[in-house]
Structure 1
Amino acid sequence: MRRICLTLPTNRPCAHTITAVGEEAAHAVEHFDAEVHLLVLDSCAPAVRAEHAGAVRRLPASSRLTVHHLDEARQRDFLQRVVERAGSTKPELLLDLLLPDGLSYGACTDRAFLAAAALGCESVHRRDSDSRYQTVEGRPVFPVHHELRSLGKRAADAAAGVSETALAAQYAQRPVAMVGSSFVGELSVDIGEIRAADPEIYRQVVGLWAPAHWPAERKRGLAEESFRGAGTRPFERDHSVLTLVDPMRVDMCNISFHGVQERVPLPPARDTIGSDYFLLHLVREARLPGVLHNRNVVNYYTAERRTDAGFLAYQLRFAKFLLSMLHFHSVYAGMREAGDTLLDELGQVRAPAVAALARESARLDQRENVERLDVLGSAYRRLGGRYAVFADRLDARRERLLAEARGDIEDFALLTEAWGGLVAAAADTPLDPYGRPGTVGR
């Protein structure tokens, strides 16, 4: 029987999502030979956590389903014990990277990876609190159905469980490292207002996340394709492809990993959207098989994003994402060139090779990012209103943002170098040795 971790990191009220993900966990144990650990990593205020705890208590019962609901204090306790056991040379810095004082999309998932290792889970399946499942005739369409059909199997064996195969025979003996899908509904990045106001400015702004050397036409094509997920077409029937999955076709709200998450972490950059997508590129460039399916979830925007404060916070995360691409495009290109050599003799990702590429990218000249800030500021001033207000804030933080982009990739290199030791330590560390309320066996 396989043991899996289905995880929901959250920093917003989402009792209804906890209920829905609990139903997906129940589906997994009912239809597959699996033991499921449902892990809710809760960064919310006490009143909201209490609502979440109530949702946890109401989840369906199963002898093979255990629910873990951890607030940040309990997460920190676990991480501190892991870091100490690992004997890391910079324990305080690593702890800060894994549980920062601020929002980090990569760090919250890294915590789930370590918790999964502590629970003895062979795979991690991530969902998001601002999405919900599609339904057919009133019944939810759960992604875990495809994930457990293929994840971790040799590609040659997984071929029998998919609709089609588009994988070269030379990769057939490698395990399926990732199974994922995307979303329908609103754009994954909250910039639809820009597209509605001025499509040309939208294309210019979104084009900033492309490599700087791309021609204008290719950047425009990227802008047309980006952040749309699977569009708006609702689910009708299952379809899945065994392939080297294109990172543009999957989303981190609908993803699962086997093996690779124990070799390389996600970048822990603060206040930076897209910082959690690195493994999608690593799996592809290392030529590890994946399965792309069509059980897309539904993405929606929470009310907080609509406020002025929420708008400014989100635009900062978007700007930092654009700046991060100077470094990540360099790393992606290095991984692409390395190809099969990213894997060791056992077929596992060589973390030192990834860390070396990250460190090398930290030395890149910042002129490209200076130009990104110039273009973004100019575009937002042409939009006017609160976009112009944000452009002024960009100018005031210019040097700091450039330094943070470089520091973030250096932090990623450091965490990657330490990751193997942290995962090994986590495997020998109880998630909650005190048996406190919040861990519920069902």
Structure 2
Amino acid sequence: MRRVCLTLPTHRACAGTIAAVGEEAAYGARQFGVEVHLLVLDSSAAPVLDRHREAVAALPPSPGVTVHHLDEDEQRAFLREVTVRSGAERELQDRLLDLLLPSRVSYGACTDRAFLIAQALGCTSVHRRDSDSRYQRLDGEPVFPLHQELTYLGQRADVAGKSATRSKLPPGSEGRRVAIAGGSFVGEMSVDVAEIRELDPDTYRELVGLSLPEGSPQIWRNHLIDASFRGAGDTAFSGDRTTLAPISPMHVDMCNIGLDHEVYRRVPLPPATDTIGSDYFLLHLTHNAQLPGLQHNRHIVNFHTPERRTDAGFLAYQLRFAKFLLSKTYLNAVYARTAAAGDALLDGEGHLRASVVAGFVRESVGLDRAENARRMDVLDRACRRLGDRYTTVADTLADRRSRLLDEARDDMADFALLMDHWEALTGASAEVGLAVTR
């Protein structure tokens, strides 16, 4: 029987989301006759962790659904066994463990852990949701993205094209399998970026513009700036619409994504810490490799947890946004290389060639840091122009300037290192397995 992993990584209170994702898992098992492994990867502090355990215990038993709720100690024990089994040298084992389970927030690393555990469980796909998301409803029933993900993932593109609303496949890809399926979100855009736009639209456009490749046409840049952080707007779901094509990262969100194992068992996500957007790497890679994807309109409803509206939450997000803008200097260089490579990113069976991708990432480490020094100057001026609590952001960035410049570069070196050992880690995960918890 087909096994799939529906995962919810979290480090903050989200008992309601756990219950909602539990419903989605039950729906998938019931409608598609698959085994759904619901995986909650919990990095929350003790009081919240206890509430999450209660929320998991309260999930009604459902045929075909197995629930795994792993705190960081349990995740670390699994990863330790995997790194040992991978054959890496002892000193490297510790380094890989630190990359996969860092002490700071990492959007890529938490998803990498889900990939490894999915391998251990024998799953053929991973489906990710986030703690700050809810489902739309139609005629009183929740609209689950898992429906489209299970329908299309792994299916040959020429077969999938017969039921998709429209197909925009590039020539020669009809025999490849659907590697990714995703939708976006509706509702609030990122609360902190939205505030910048409200305070000073020109400063917003200047900062968001830093995330785009240098030298791109202004009309194209304007369009992407307008579309960034906006999701799918606020149009309510009224019926399914699907497009079969290489998916643009601008049109899907990582809270609403499903990936086939042939993608994530070969290439991981960057384990960069405190960097928003670091988990979008595989979206760019599959798009540039022209792998078939399924874009759907079962968009998730975005909202913001109370923590995001506190001063501490605000500062933490702004620093992650700054690191995102620094990371894009390196990532955009890699994306340019992968876009130029196209089909050369794939082997004879249409699978990603991790060694080629790792080479591009490693080469980016040597980029001149002058560009990121300039970006830090832009950030400083922008935050001081915005004033009020953004002045605190500017002061913090100034205090950490040298460290942040180093981290942005070192994050890419760490990513290349993880990629070098990733297939050994995914293979070891399959050998180690994971005990069933419920």
CA–CA distance in structure 2, aligned partners of residues 393 and 292 of structure 1: 39
Alignment of 1:14-93 (within 5 A): 14-89=14-89, 90-93=92-95
Q: Does 1:128 align with 2:169?
A: no
Is the CA contact (8 Å cut-off) linking 1:212 and 1:368 kept in structure 2? no
Unpaired segments ≥5 residues, structure 2 = none
Q: Which amino acid in the other structure matches residue 52 of structure 1?
A: H
Q: 1:346 to 1:218 in 2, by over 3 A?
A: closer
Is the CA contact (8 Å cut-off) linking 1:155 and 1:175 kept in structure 2? yes
Of 188, 191, 194, which aligns to 2:193? 191
Of 321, 329, 332, which aligns to 2:332? 329
Question: Deviation at 1:67?
Answer: 0.3
Is the CA contact (8 Å cut-off) linking 1:26 and 1:60 kept in structure 2? no
Q: Which amino acid in the other structure matches residue 103 of structure 1?
A: V
CA–CA distance in structure 2, aligned partners of residues 274 and 190 of structure 1: 15
User: TM-score, length-normalised on structure 2?
Assistant: 0.97
Question: Deviation at 1:306?
Answer: 1.1
Question: Deviation at 1:366?
Answer: 1.0
Deviations 1:16-60 (A, max 9, x none): 101100100111011102111000001112222222122212223
CA–CA distance in structure 2, aligned partners of residues 167 and 394 of structure 1: 44
CA–CA distance in structure 1, aligned partners of residues 52 and 412 of structure 2: 34
CA–CA distance in structure 2, aligned partners of residues 135 and 63 of structure 1: 24
Of 154, 159, 162, which aligns to 1:160? 162
Of 311, 316, 320, which aligns to 1:317? 320
Question: Deviation at 1:61?
Answer: 2.0
Alignment of 1:246-285 (within 5 A): 246-258=248-260, 259-285=262-288
What SS does structure 2 have at the residue aligned with 1:278?
Answer: helix
The corresponding residue for 2:379 is 376
Question: Deviation at 1:335?
Answer: 0.5
Q: Which amino acid in the other structure matches residue 4 of structure 2?
A: I
Question: Deviation at 1:69?
Answer: 0.4
Q: Which moved more, 1:321-330 or 1:211-220?
A: 211-220
Q: 1:164 to 1:215 in 2, by over 3 A?
A: closer
Q: Which moved more, 1:302-311 or 1:18-27?
A: 302-311
Question: Deviation at 1:262?
Answer: 0.5
Deviations 1:402-430 (A, max 9, x none): 11000000000000110000000000112
CA–CA distance in structure 2, aligned partners of residues 189 and 289 of structure 1: 33
| Count of equivalent residues | 435
Is the CA contact (8 Å cut-off) linking 2:38 and 2:66 kept in structure 1? yes
The corresponding residue for 1:421 is 424
Question: Deviation at 1:186?
Answer: 1.2
The corresponding residue for 1:179 is 181
User: TM-score, length-normalised on structure 1?
Assistant: 0.96
The corresponding residue for 2:208 is 206
Is the CA contact (8 Å cut-off) linking 2:289 and 2:338 kept in structure 1? yes
What SS does structure 2 have at the residue aligned with 1:8?
Answer: strand
Question: Deviation at 1:220?
Answer: 3.2
Question: Deviation at 1:388?
Answer: 1.3
CA–CA distance in structure 2, aligned partners of residues 217 and 246 of structure 1: 18
Question: Deviation at 1:395?
Answer: 1.2
CA–CA distance in structure 2, aligned partners of residues 108 and 427 of structure 1: 18
% identical aligned pairs: 57
CA–CA distance in structure 2, aligned partners of residues 403 and 114 of structure 1: 28
What SS does structure 2 have at the residue aligned with 1:291?
Answer: strand
Q: Does 1:360 align with 2:363?
A: yes
CA–CA distance in structure 2, aligned partners of residues 219 and 351 of structure 1: 30
Of 292, 296, 303, which aligns to 1:293? 296
Q: Which moved more, 1:336-345 or 1:289-298?
A: 336-345
Q: Which amino acid in the other structure matches residue 297 of structure 1?
A: I
Is the CA contact (8 Å cut-off) linking 2:26 and 2:63 kept in structure 1? no
The corresponding residue for 1:118 is 120
Deviations 1:261-300 (A, max 9, x none): 1110000000000010000001101111000000000111
Is the CA contact (8 Å cut-off) linking 1:4 and 1:34 kept in structure 2? yes
CA–CA distance in structure 2, aligned partners of residues 222 and 6 of structure 1: 30
Is the CA contact (8 Å cut-off) linking 1:150 and 1:161 kept in structure 2? no
CA–CA distance in structure 2, aligned partners of residues 361 and 161 of structure 1: 41
Q: 1:218 to 1:14 in 2, by over 3 A?
A: same
Question: Deviation at 1:396?
Answer: 1.4
Question: Deviation at 1:62?
Answer: 2.5
Is the CA contact (8 Å cut-off) linking 2:30 and 2:63 kept in structure 1? no
The corresponding residue for 1:97 is 99
Deviations 1:181-229 (A, max 9, x none): 0001111463111111111111111111112323555433322110101
CA–CA distance in structure 2, aligned partners of residues 81 and 407 of structure 1: 26
Two-structure CA RMSD over aligned residues (Å): 1.2
What SS does structure 2 have at the residue aligned with 1:400?
Answer: helix
Q: Which moved more, 1:121-130 or 1:38-47?
A: 38-47
What SS does structure 1 have at the residue aligned with 2:5?
Answer: strand
CA–CA distance in structure 1, aligned partners of residues 316 and 83 of structure 2: 31
Is the CA contact (8 Å cut-off) linking 1:188 and 1:229 kept in structure 2? no
CA–CA distance in structure 1, aligned partners of residues 25 and 393 of structure 2: 41
Q: 1:224 to 1:136 in 2, by over 3 A?
A: same
Question: Deviation at 1:97?
Answer: 0.3
Unpaired segments ≥5 residues, structure 1 = none
Q: 1:303 to 1:198 in 2, by over 3 A?
A: same
